[in-house]
Structure 1
């Protein structure tokens, strides 16, 4: 929980400081996209090897090493003198955060079973919600109190005390290292191919293609790298080697569909939050502190609904995820309508309401979906299973954090001589709603693909069945 709070607080605080950081550093839009999306990309790509190494060599030492590297990279980013230094430090910090979180998921899988595992993951999600709730007001207060130059640097340093405390707690309380899988070489080439595919998918949004031929070239690169990755994974299995994605995970349709749900939901929520903060500050001219006040209800709603989601799961089961995604689609479409129709005077308050809806929707979706996905991960691949899930989420986040802001900026610029930030924000909200609709469809398919479980209350004795047989006769 402490690790989740530390890594998520860092990202939540930085998002609110993006406009002041851009002005202070003179960074381009591409620089900002790399600073924000690069963290998620490195985070995701380090999860699977981190989980694999944790399965092979134990988790405690890797957790401590990753948290120490996260601390050092955060200090480097806060004291950097230019966009290039900040981009490099954030890439390292994201990789360290991925290494740490791979051990978190693996440890939860090792220590807890059944409903206890679901509650542990629920508390982990609540911690993330609380950290996300604290991030915007703390970041807004720092930028407002210290100014745009020192403010965003202190935002990046805010996670450092948390990292120190987490290191002390982990050294004392984490279980001793133990192996849960036999030795196997990590699939380094598979990881490189996956990274290349993701970068090819991100680049058209970070660097707008000059022509249709360049866009076609990037699309061809995505398809080619994905095909090579698939062939490579097949060959690894044929040769008896461990592929990047464990064969047992690829064979589980509920696991694959649940992971796809997590990708669409996670990418949509992070991109929507980033676009909202940029729209409030650059489009409406609000201060960082007022922007934090508008986005705060969303984080509070997510924390509260995450804490209560497991109760709803006990009542309606997997339909909890469907309810959450449906509410998320409604929140995104409402935000788009509000941005287009509401007067400027009441627009921030109306957007705060849509943020609350979106936060509640996220709390009802993230933890229940994560628990359902990990139920299908085999014990010998617990760390890898959790790592693949989070890797998929972070890769989706990296792509969405590049694509959705690019959609907003392009639409907000409008034709020459005019600026339309409201239209840009509405369009970005519609894109996020579309992603959630995809997640909703995949969630319904996952429910259909999941084998039915015998009910604990089902009659099992002949005397209990006899009345039903008589009624049939």
Structure 2
């Protein structure tokens, strides 16, 4: 790459990384302010769950149509539009006087974030090629993970410094200065909009059915069905939605119209398995972080600053682990992802065990130590797994592959946030004193998700090893600079 082109590429990458950090820190920073927000607005458990999970749901569902529109209309204008909507919704949420207003604003924010990140993925695909693209996508994944990890400590500092009433509002405004700076940089450094496709071919029906399936999986945990019959009704609704989505995708493929999941991606078993691994890891990570924050504040009575101190080792360990992950990948290859998943599951099981056995006074320290292992495990998993997933994306669907991967992660986060927080809140409501059992059960669920991801990761490695050595899509080693 010539020097000028390389300099321009680095500028574009800086804008994309700033956008990823801005939109991804926004979710995690709110976790630590949820008790303050709940008390300030008298929000019920369902409202709190919608505030958290609605962002991920709208984020995920906006990714694919956003990417498709970017192909047709160019990416720069949609990037600016999405980030502007994100910023405006942040201002509305931060000044809200009722839970419903915050929920609506968070849904709009999530949709704006999804529109922005779909343009980020498309822009990185357009500007970079081959190894440069892998490096850029790897850095994007690392920055996003670090932003999510730093959210709770930043939120804790704001709540501690400005008090609960103003603290949660400032948490919602934390991303606003970053968004303004990113908008300024985007107007100057993003390449001019250009069309990469004549028409979008967007599968609106498939997207709606995917959203319906996600909602039927989320709502049972938010609405709290009171009977076995209510749970069975939701399960039946989810089964019907899933079956309808499968039929609709087959019919659309037979009609020679592009389905929601590109046929080439649907036919790539390593890609599908890797995406499922990412869903398990992301959903577990987001849900465990939320429940830990609520447990520390509402269960143990810690201040926001003390809660941030417990969460900080996870962010620091993830940063260090991400920096050296390439060394582990070079030594272990794809097994590095499996190692990360196993470490993460073990740390969550340890969190559950110490919560049930250690004296209350010692819990913050022991949970902080477990969080350090969780963060280190995430650093070994997130970026290497993404690199491996996208290596197995067929060339004809390379651009769509990143969008579908992120959409799957965000939908998994929406479902897991609803489900695991629902498990904790129900258990805590029936437990006197410190809700040790409810927290331990929640950590067990999150560990189970990582163990499921571990099984899928091993299956993916076996699938790749069975492929012919001459396969044009055989995975290449992850470059050192990718991570």
If the TM-score is normalised by the length of the shorter chain, which range does it land in?
over 0.9
The separation in 1 between residues aligned to 2:66 and 2:396, in whole angstroms, is 15
Counterpart residue number, 2:166: 150
The separation in 2 between residues aligned to 1:21 and 1:422, in whole angstroms, is 23
SS of the aligned residue for 1:346 comes to: helix
2:347 is the alignment partner of 1:331: yes
**Counterpart mapping for 1:155-174 below 5 A:** 155-174=171-190
Counterpart residue number, 1:432: 446
Q: How has the CA–CA distance of structure 1 residues 352 and 216 changed in structure 2, closer, same or farther, with 3 Å as cutoff?
A: same
The separation in 1 between residues aligned to 2:300 and 2:158, in whole angstroms, is 20
Give the CA RMSD over aligned residues. Answer: 1.6
2:110 is the alignment partner of 1:94: yes
2:40 to 4, 24, 28: 24
The separation in 1 between residues aligned to 2:153 and 2:227, in whole angstroms, is 42
Listed one character per residue, the Cα deviations across residues 336-364 of structure 1 (whole Å, up to 9, x for unaligned) are 11111112222111111111100111111
Counterpart residue number, 1:104: 120
Instruction: State the 4+ residue runs in structure 1 displaced beyond 6 angstroms.
Output: none
Q: 5+ residue gaps in structure 1?
A: 456-473
User: Who wins on radius of gyration, i.e. which is larger?
Assistant: 1
Q: 5+ residue gaps in structure 2?
A: 1-16, 472-483
The separation in 1 between residues aligned to 2:209 and 2:150, in whole angstroms, is 37
The separation in 2 between residues aligned to 1:73 and 1:29, in whole angstroms, is 22
Contact 2:145 2:382 in 1 (8 A): no
Listed one character per residue, the Cα deviations across residues 340-396 of structure 1 (whole Å, up to 9, x for unaligned) are 111222211111111110011111111111111112334443342111111111111
Deviation at 1:275, TM superposition (A): 0.3
Contact 2:424 2:439 in 1 (8 A): yes
Aligned length: 453
Deviates more, 1:334-343 or 1:277-286: 334-343
Taking structure 1 as the reference length, what is the TM-score of the superposition?
Answer: 0.92
The separation in 2 between residues aligned to 1:118 and 1:304, in whole angstroms, is 20
Taking structure 2 as the reference length, what is the TM-score of the superposition?
Answer: 0.90
SS of the aligned residue for 1:241 comes to: coil
Deviates more, 1:123-132 or 1:420-429: 123-132
Listed one character per residue, the Cα deviations across residues 388-424 of structure 1 (whole Å, up to 9, x for unaligned) are 1111111110011011111112222336xx2451111
The separation in 2 between residues aligned to 1:263 and 1:27, in whole angstroms, is 29
Contact 1:184 1:241 in 2 (8 A): no
Counterpart residue number, 2:221: 205
2:419 is the alignment partner of 1:403: yes
SS of the aligned residue for 1:356 comes to: helix
2:233 to 199, 217, 221: 217
1:285 to 286, 296, 301: 301
2:67 is the alignment partner of 1:48: no
Deviation at 1:454, TM superposition (A): 6.8
Deviation at 1:13, TM superposition (A): 1.2
The separation in 1 between residues aligned to 2:468 and 2:71, in whole angstroms, is 30
Counterpart residue number, 1:314: 330
2:76 to 43, 52, 60: 60
2:462 is the alignment partner of 1:448: yes
Deviation at 1:453, TM superposition (A): 5.2
